[in-house]
Structure 1
């Protein structure tokens, strides 16, 4: 979730995992629900001392109220109110409107009661070559070309493992080449044509050319990598993949790497 605040030179976004309770109404067509859970935020702001900006990481809690109307053709209209209580940062409230689509066919009116089960792994073996852009999480959001290669293997029905190489581009403030290992939670839809997944794991920088304050070059060797990915399988052999990566550093060089590519299944 991204947040713009009424303060100059500030941008905060982050991820949240929530538990929900829901109340169906009108023969399951209308649903009122509430959720709560931890919130991990990433805040880019003007540096207080030294450097042009800083990437601050912190924790908070997010509380959500949601009203959703389910149409007969899987489409959903919804309104959502988010309240973020940030530890060490300003609290915010956001009102959002949106539309959604049920990827699994519902049992009747409203949301599906439970997800369909499967016996086989979502993923076998895949190799994907990717091309995209790196966006440095600075106040100017500098961009550059990014490339990568990913090997993906299914470990269990809904769990994948990936080993990848990333080249983050050659911007004057941040140029990194490195390898990452991630575990993924993955689901397949539409007769296994479409897959969606979320992954996380460590990133090791092999080549690093960062303009770091106070010569803190050692801080950039290991980072975290959090990712969202979607793939579409055209045939039993070929697929297209789109992935958003968030590089989480300890030295004010967080970056978003958005890449798409073509892969082969075997």
Structure 2
């Protein structure tokens, strides 16, 4: 488990680290249709995409793709891709071709009503078309083909979405580093946030449940945070977990330090009261956890933050915990 977890985190963290020296970041949300030629069926798909241009015709991206629900397969995953791009109509229309590795989590139904989670790697190829009607907002059409080896199913997706260009505002227009308000926001290195939200277990049994969390965040550098959190996933029947998480985060700040985007990875020490008789050789209660976050700072000392935790178990009980909260900084 920890081997694929380390590769999974390295893929995203390496891409985020590359972005610190670059501009012209694009954030896109898309929704559409997924079709599996192996299963002969179609379903929905949605995708969250962060793309970064680093040359006139080259870009990289990190994306989360949900491939919908098929009989016996509920698959999603993360990808990092390299893109070649070309522009038309004075830059308003941009065509891009991309490819890279895709790490997937496939919840597969089993006889008796239970399920297992199959994880693996697959190549992904993509084509996208952007239309930029105004300076920052754009429309995007994206087509993906995911082709795993062995018994894992091939998937083709097509989605339409809306995107926004993120970049640091020019200092002549925005506030400079000498601005007192920006200086205060940068000097507040501690953050305590109370969250509430929802737990969804990636299993064929159980339902959703209310989740709560209390998080302490320490800003180690302008780009790196460390957190220690108590997380209670509630009681969605398939699991009844709670415990402590500790994570390291890489992130970027925009709009004069107000908007915060980041990705974290770490360890979740969890006690699951629904799990009976864990194996003797199991690393007791330890699970990898990975999380994207977005926050908005208002005033000098307050922040609204959203976090999406993916808890990765070794007993087919992965969970998504969606949390929103208000934090105080000092």
TM-score class, shorter = 0.7 to 0.9
Q: Following superposition of structure 1 onto structure 2, how do residues 20-39 of structure 1 map, counting pairs within 5 Å? A: 20-39=83-102
- Structure 2 segments unaligned to the other structure (5+ residues): 1-64, 171-176
Distance 1:9 1:142 in 2: 17
Note if 1:231 corresponds to 2:295.
yes
Q: Which residue of 2 aligns with 1:240?
A: 304
Q: 1:53-72 maps to which residues of 2 (within 5 A)?
A: 53-72=115-134
Structure 1 residues 71 and 28 mapped into 2: Cα distance closer, same or farther (>3 Å)?
Answer: same
The answer on 1:202 being equivalent to 2:267 is: yes
Match of 1:11 among 74, 91, 98: 74
Q: CA deviation at 1:51?
A: 6.4
- What's the TM-score, normalizing by structure 1? 0.86
Equivalent-residue separation in structure 1 for 2:244 and 2:101 (angstroms): 29
Contact 1:129–1:263 (8 Å) recurs in 2: yes
CA displacement at 1:91 relative to structure 2: 1.2
C-alpha contact 2:93 2:130 (8 A) present in aligned 1:
yes
Cα displacement (A) at 1:257: 0.4
Given that 1:220 and 1:249 are in contact with CA atoms closer than 8 Å, whether structure 2 keeps it comes out as no
Q: Distance in 1 between matches of 2:208 and 2:191?
A: 28
Residue among 122, 139, 146 paired with 2:211: 146
What count of residue pairs does the alignment treat as equivalent?
253
Q: Residues 1-266 of structure 1: matches in 2 within 5 Å?
A: 1-4=65-68, 7-47=70-110, 52-88=114-150, 89-104=152-167, 124-140=189-205, 142-205=207-270, 207-212=271-276, 215-216=278-279, 218=282, 221-266=285-330
Task: Report the structure, 1 or 2, having the larger helix content.
Answer: 2
Moved over 4 A (4+): 118-123
| 8 A Cα contact 1:122 1:158, kept in partner | no
Indicate how the Cα distance of structure 1 residues 258 and 123 shifts in structure 2: closer, same or farther if over 3 A, else same: farther
- Write the distance in 2 (CA, Å) between the matches of 1:94 and 1:173: 30
1:156 Cα offset (Å): 2.5
Taking only aligned residues, the RMSD between alpha carbons, in angstroms, comes to 2.6
Work out whether residues 177 and 208 of structure 1, in 8 Å CA contact, stay in contact via their aligned partners in 2.
Answer: yes
Distance (whole Å) between structure 2 residues aligned to residue 198 and residue 260 of structure 1: 16
- Higher alpha-carbon deviation: 250-259 or 136-145: 136-145
For 2:67 and 2:130, locate their aligned partners in 1 and report how far apart those are by CA, in whole Å. 22
